[in-house]
Structure 1
């Protein structure tokens, strides 16, 4: 039986917010921040390189930005850049020169020519039909296009209109790329727009103020405001962010069987992407796992890799430390929930 999908569009702490629930379980939570939204596009001006960090600072109308790709860039040069995540307090805005124009059905890629259809769409007739729609809607543009999996259940006219709109936006932004002054060229999507863009069509949609309370979202957010996360079989984990890293400590609880450590660690692996996503946590993450034999490490790694494969936030599984901890490096793509709930 398919789980009922609920989407709630409300506000949290005075900020626009969106919640996605599957069968009553909170799966995703988007909250607007005070820093520039991910997806925002600037005409930025190259400033100075940062020795030892492989990047350089850029000037934008919203403050300094930091770019890691610096080959061939000279001070004073104008660049088209896009915000990739939320800036940490006191730090520069993270940006990339790989600009994307993303909607529900289409992603226009100005610097990557060619047409591609999501691999999730397997039917060959459907793929051929989508390629034909894309070719016509792009109108001979030299820009690239990716058709997303949502196209599989959409009408031809709807897809074509979405492609044409994204192409027009991309062309307009690129035409404004040249200039001598920093300028914001496109505002990134807020939580409500991103919910429509990236989430599945809901069985139940809440738009009215107070729908977070009506659907039980506030109760689930309260659970996320504590470090403790409950795992099956009486096990638990504590997720505690510090200035340097996010520490995750796994405990087996009352289970003292030989397999207790592996069971608790596997339960953590399966739910960790969701927990980090909902709590808005990124950066360096260190897992202090429950004791388990070294021969079981491969099983744990496989479970962790499978879980993060389905997560949209870029995460590098760095591996084991000499002390037996497991480390990850995760993009800071979300605003930390703790900042909103202060």
Structure 2
């Protein structure tokens, strides 16, 4: 099986990342200039208004619209000292107008609604998510095999990590050595320490941390060791990618390669044609059938048609083969 990650960043107005398996587009992510993801960004913000009826606060973190901070998203470390061990106080006892706090975006602005914020910070890495000022130490629920969970918990416990630096090990951490996990943890701690240093140097509202660009996010979240190569068509993004691999997983750095052909990278691997097909509501199946996808207000309807399929012996066999091919496409 051939598996590649293609990073198309040669056009400043649009970045695209595709994962291709045996020539077939498996994953596609697109980021437009001016519409970069803000979810995950961390800011030094100032409280503008405390709403006791909502048990929430509106916070200025530098965007056009004020962010929304619910009381359930306020870290106990912000509570007044007298209340830290006596349960959660009311929001008016925690926050006041003009108070400066660290916030992170958990849901981006939508329509007339401002971004949803939290003060429970988290920093995603390659193998784990760091949660500063937290005692949570665990393994992702996506790792369902108990044996793997036990091994990861045992490995992490042997690292003697700080008590107030929580973490959740991601699926990418399965089978990794202690040194690799520790390297990722140390990288995230340095990142957090840099955020705290910048916090002391600026006045709210100010951005302290920006979530990685599309290329680095895709590598962090989707790169797997069964990939043959990571091809990049832009010199700066190529160098950033090499640096990220050197920092987080140097043993795989040789897989990062620069696409130097004159033919655009997505055209070279027939990705443009497959992207065009994504906008059509009808998809042809290998044996002559098709599926038709129609979104409605309540649901997305998928109609499976056997079409000219007649090679199977009997209607049930034809239906089974059609449904298997349709399931693969969906």
Whether TM exceeds 0.5 here: the answer is yes
Structure 2: how far apart are the matches of 1:109 and 1:144?
5
Partner residue in 1 for 2:272: 218
Structure 1 stretches lacking a partner, 5+ long: 273-342
Partner of 1:132: 158
Q: Given the alignment, which residue of 195, 198, 201 partners 1:173?
A: 195
Select between 199-208 and 56-65 the one with higher mean Cα deviation: 56-65
Question: Aligned in 2, Cα 1:55/1:66: closer, same or farther, shift over 3 Å?
Answer: farther
Aligned-residue offset at 1:252: 4.6
TM-score (norm 1): 0.61
Query: Counterparts of 2:211 and 2:298 in 1: how far apart (Å)?
Result: 27
Structure 1 equivalent of residue 233 of structure 2: 208
Q: Give the Å deviation of 1:90.
A: 6.0
Superposed CA RMSD? 4.0
With over 3 angstroms needed to count, the CA separation of the structure-2 counterparts of 1:252 and 1:196, relative to structure 1, is closer
2:100 to 63, 78, 81: 78
Equivalents in 2 of 1:271, 1:175: separation in Å?
49
Cα distance in 2 for residues equivalent to 1:238 and 1:38: 30
Q: 1:61–1:266: structure 2 CA closer, same or farther, 3 Å change rule?
A: farther
* Residues matched between the structures, number: 260
Query: Aligned with 1:37: secondary structure?
Result: coil
Question: Per the alignment, do residues 98 and 23 of structure 1 end up closer, same or farther by CA in structure 2, a change over 3 Å counting?
Answer: farther
Classify 1:68/1:236 alpha carbon distance in 2 versus 1 (closer, same or farther; 3 Å): farther
Alpha-carbon spacing, 1:268–1:82, altered in 2? closer, same or farther (3 Å): farther
After the TM superposition, which residues 67-106 of structure 1 pair with which residues of structure 2 at under 5 Å, given as runs? Answer: 67-70=68-71, 72=91, 73-88=95-110, 91-106=113-128
Q: Which of 225, 234, 237 is the matching residue for 2:293?
A: 237
CA contact (8 A) 2:45 2:101 kept: yes
SS at 2:174's partner residue?
helix
Alignment of structure 1 residues 111-122 onto 2, 5 Å: 111-118=133-140, 119=143, 122=147
Unaligned runs of 5+ in 2: 73-90, 235-263, 308-314
- Aligned equivalent of 1:22: 21
Q: Is structure 2 residue 244 aligned with structure 1 residue 192?
A: no
Query: What does the per-residue CA deviation read over 1:9-63, in whole Å, with 9 as the maximum and x for residues that have no partner?
Result: 1136722321123333333222234245332111122233689988553212233
The equivalences for 1:1-342 within 5 A come to 3-11=1-9, 14-33=13-32, 34-35=34-35, 36-48=37-49, 56-70=57-71, 72=91, 73-88=95-110, 91-118=113-140, 119=143, 122-123=147-148, 124-125=150-151, 127-133=153-159, 135=160, 138=161, 140-174=162-196, 177=199, 181-199=204-222, 200-201=224-225, 202-209=227-234, 210-226=264-280, 228-230=281-283, 233-239=289-295, 248-253=300-305
Q: Is the 8 A contact 1:116 1:145 kept in 2?
A: yes
Q: Distance in 2 between matches of 1:26 and 1:52?
A: 50
Q: Structure 1 pair 91/67, CA: closer, same or farther in 2 (3 Å)?
A: closer
Contact 2:123 2:130 (8 Å CA) reproduced:
yes
Q: Secondary structure at the match of 2:43?
A: strand
